[in-house]
Chain A
Amino acid sequence: MAVEVILPRVDMDMATGKMGRWFVAEGERVAKGQLLFEIETDKAAMDIDAPAAGLLRGVCAQAGDILPVGSVVGWIVAPGEVFVVPVSAPQAGPTARASPAAAASQDEPTREAPGEGVRATPMARRLARECGAVLSEIVGSGPNGRVQARDIPARSGAFDLQARQRRAETPRQGGLHRLWLRQGEGAPLVFLHGFGADLNGWRPLLGHIRSRRPVLALDLPGHGQSPHSGEADLESLVEASAATLAQEQVSAAHLVGHSLGGAVASALAERRGFRALSLALIAPAGLGPAINGAFLAGFLQAGDEASLALWMRLLVTDAAALGPALVKTTLRQRAEAGVADAQRQIAQGLFPESAQAFSVRESLARLQCPAKIIFGGRDAIIAPDHAAGLPGLIAQHVFAGVGHLPHLEARREVARLIDELVAAGG
């Protein structure tokens, strides 16, 4: 039985993907899990493994082709199996293939009937019809990129995701790069990443969060696609984040911060003009004196994938939690002009000589909203015992056998804790 090889969604924003190289030629034998082809995204090339063992047949996408997520790009068949390209297949092939002319007109909304060739549930299609959304422009969060009801913007007029997205993507003076990762209703969740990461690091966790709130993620200054002001203290990070939230008209939110982002969230929580509804601090900085300086130095110095992978390995207990894509993405991001320098500067200002130059303990002592501190018991970057001595109302959750990235290594559990906070925080 022929197994479809599908262009997967490797990035939640992704509606289409650009085919990169094939590592296996038509007719060649592949093992299950063997590197099969790559997808090029804005940020990185992602390696895609073979979904089954057998012979690669019927390759119908070539490097450079731009295809909708979920398109069939080939098949894997058993040796000796008679292979005929299934009749329903070509929809993903030639029509969607980006000829130079098609590529040029790619931004025009209606070359085909709206929604044709897009995987979408009947409900999503109905909602899209009702609100005039174009399905092919929507990123599906379901299996194989299937568009589901929750992906449809302006569902019953409650939330115009696309409008917010457009607003967010328009560069603004002083604003940080941010993305509405999910539509929803009510006060949003705001995600603040850790040092050296960017907002994309939250994506694996997102799928496990059941709350129907909108989700906004920021790139901290000097990270991801955010500019760096040149100042390297906690207050300027908090200031920039607060200004960005104000621009997004977010005056109350459930804050989720990881590591350095946890410190930013803690300080944000007591800022005037902003109301934190709940606070989830994942392996937060700013609670104790020390941080793994060797890691920071090594992480910042590593110039190639192999050495960066070695340092990033310290972030987790289970190497599998840290996919090659994350290392590649981190490296690619660092290659952007000014990012490496900015991060070095921030590290020097915030974490000089393996110390943490700031504390948020006082902020937490004054905290009014429900809060949880989530640590991995084997965090090699910030010791979990930093959470000792905090106010008794702040819950502490320690996941044994987990490292500095509980939101990756224990994502289901962390998502559940965040959902609990959202439920408690109103």
Chain B
Amino acid sequence: MNQTTRELTYAQAIQEALAIAMAADERVFLMGEDIGVYGGAFQVTGDLVERFGEDRVMDTPISELGGAGVAIGAALTGMRPVYEFQFSDFSMLAMEQIVNQAAKLRYMLGGAVNVPVVFRMPTGSGLGGAAQHSQSIEAWFAHVPGLKVVAPSTPHDVKGMLLAAIADPDPVLIFEHKLLYKVKGPVPAGHYTVPLDKAQLRRPGRDLTIVATSIMSARAVEAAAILMGEGVEAEVIDLRALRPIDRPAVIASVKKTNRLLCVYEGVKTLGIGAEISAAIAESDAFDYLDAPILRLGGAEAPIPYSPGLEMAAVPQVGDIVAAARKLAGGRA
């Protein structure tokens, strides 16, 4: 494959993936609020309605329950719908459809049907969206067997994972951090996929492992560069896949570095970091731990509207540096 690679934003990479999928497969179509003429709340779908028409880029009414239900129904009939929640927070209105229907129909019907639907989930804080538009609820869905949940952190990964999700026979939720939409990165042209169940090493290191999700892996890489200046070599693993979680990648890394820091934006308690910590405690990596596991997660509070408090409510680069420093402090 002789592919060229360009710099695209995360949002452009998503749009490119959608266009490629729609061009290649007539069954693929998009649904969501304001994704047509308006181009999407975060301008991700852009001019796709002009390129593919209103039959394939469908503006839906303000009813997430209805929209998600239609998408799931379409998937059951063999279509490949991609439904955009304007904010992932609004998916709570469609919980019944996602959790009780999409996740379980294949099981309930003894494998007679598949639900190849993709839900796009703009997520996270940092844009002043306040408490009802800024949450990170990916762990809620990662708790549900029958769903696949991913949180790509780079333009390259979001394109490849979205294409993999559209091709996947089961329901996939793809969490897109809103602050990532404008982040640029290299993206190969054409069709490619990134596995939905594999973590990615972002930076090798020997002193501690930082397992991070979504935008936190970018912050962890930034933190690792700062730590390097202090002689602390942090290994950064971008989890990418939240269900299923790539346990072997995390376990292998912890066995190498003997220390683990989990960083995620969702509320700390009962979050992704709890699962990662437990996975290590249950694995043979336990006997390689040379310090207690640390977690950095979102505050036990709604995301505040005040910009200063909003920053303080989720881990920032400085928080990661400080936690890693503390964790690696006992290292000779």
**A212–B332 touching, CB < 8 Å:** yes
**B332–A184 touching, CB < 8 Å:** yes
A121 to B289, CA, bound (A): 6
Chain A proximity mask over B39-66: 1 for CB below 8 Å, otherwise 0: 0000000000000000000000000000
**B258–A149 touching, CB < 8 Å:** yes
**A211–B332 touching, CB < 8 Å:** yes
A309 to B291, CA, bound (A): 38
What residues of chain B lie closer than 8 Å to A43, measured between beta carbons? none
Beta-carbon nearest neighbor of A149 in chain B = B290
Return the contact of A124 from the options B290, B331, B332 (Cβ within 8 A): B290
**A123–B288 touching, CB < 8 Å:** yes
A416 to B286, CA, bound (A): 31
Interface size on B, residues (CB 8 A): 11
**B291–A126 touching, CB < 8 Å:** no
A124 to B289, CA, bound (A): 8
The reply on B330 being an interface residue by CB < 8 A is yes
What residues of chain B lie closer than 8 Å to A124, measured between beta carbons? 290
The reply on B231 being an interface residue by CB < 8 A is yes
Beta-carbon nearest neighbor of A150 in chain B = B332
Binds B, one of A9-17, A77-85, A140-148, A171-179: A140-148
Chain B proximity mask over A141-166: 1 for CB below 8 Å, otherwise 0: 11100101110000000000000000
**A210–B332 touching, CB < 8 Å:** yes
The reply on B287 being an interface residue by CB < 8 A is yes
Beta-carbon nearest neighbor of B281 in chain A = A122
**B289–A210 touching, CB < 8 Å:** no
A150 to B332, CA, bound (A): 7
Within 8 A of B (CB), among A367-419: 416, 419
Closest chain-A Cβ to B110's Cβ sits at a distance in Å of 44
What residues of chain B lie closer than 8 Å to A328, measured between beta carbons? none
What residues of chain B lie closer than 8 Å to A142, measured between beta carbons? 291, 330
A89 to B288, CA, bound (A): 27
A210 to B287, CA, bound (A): 23
The winner among B287, B290, B330, B331 for most chain A CB atoms within 10 A is B290
A209 to B332, CA, bound (A): 7
What residues of chain B lie closer than 8 Å to A126, measured between beta carbons? 287-288
A125 to B290, CA, bound (A): 9
Within 8 A of A (CB), among B239-290: 258, 286-290
Within 8 A of A (CB), among B287-308: 287-291
Beta-carbon nearest neighbor of B284 in chain A = A126
The winner among A122, A124, A143, A149 for most chain B CB atoms within 10 A is A122
Within 8 A of B (CB), among A193-225: 209-212
Closest chain-A Cβ to B278's Cβ sits at a distance in Å of 14
The reply on A254 being an interface residue by CB < 8 A is no
Beta-carbon nearest neighbor of B288 in chain A = A123
**A123–B290 touching, CB < 8 Å:** yes
What residues of chain A lie closer than 8 Å to B288, measured between beta carbons? 122-123, 126
What residues of chain B lie closer than 8 Å to A143, measured between beta carbons? 330
**A182–B291 touching, CB < 8 Å:** no
**A148–B291 touching, CB < 8 Å:** yes
A182 to B332, CA, bound (A): 9
**B231–A121 touching, CB < 8 Å:** no
Chain B proximity mask over A318-330: 1 for CB below 8 Å, otherwise 0: 0000000000000
The winner among B231, B291, B330 for most chain A CB atoms within 10 A is B330
What residues of chain A lie closer than 8 Å to B258, measured between beta carbons? 123, 149
Closest chain-B Cβ to A416's Cβ sits at a distance in Å of 8
Closest chain-B Cβ to A125's Cβ sits at a distance in Å of 7
Beta-carbon nearest neighbor of B285 in chain A = A122
A150 to B330, CA, bound (A): 9
Beta-carbon nearest neighbor of B332 in chain A = A150
Beta-carbon nearest neighbor of B292 in chain A = A121
Within 8 A of B (CB), among A108-134: 121-126
Return the contact of B289 from the options A123, A209, A416 (Cβ within 8 A): A123
A121 to B281, CA, bound (A): 12
A184 to B332, CA, bound (A): 9
Quick one: given A123-B258, A210-B331, A210-B332, are A148 and B290 in contact (CB under 8 Å)? yes
Closest chain-A Cβ to B253's Cβ sits at a distance in Å of 14
A209 to B331, CA, bound (A): 9
Chain A proximity mask over B302-332: 1 for CB below 8 Å, otherwise 0: 0000000000000000000000000000111
List the 9 closest pairs (A to B, CB-CB), nearest first: A126-B287, A123-B290, A150-B332, A149-B290, A122-B289, A121-B290, A142-B330, A212-B332, A122-B287
Which B residues have a C-beta under 8 Å from some C-beta of A?
Answer: 231, 258, 286-291, 330-332
Q: List 19 A-B contacts (CB under 8 A).
A: A121-B289, A122-B286, A122-B288, A123-B289, A123-B290, A124-B290, A126-B288, A146-B330, A148-B330, A149-B290, A150-B290, A150-B331, A150-B332, A182-B332, A209-B332, A210-B231, A210-B332, A212-B332, A416-B231
Having A182-B332, A184-B332, one finds 9 other A-B pairs with CB under 8 Å, namely A121-B289, A121-B290, A122-B286, A122-B290, A141-B332, A148-B291, A148-B330, A149-B290, A210-B331
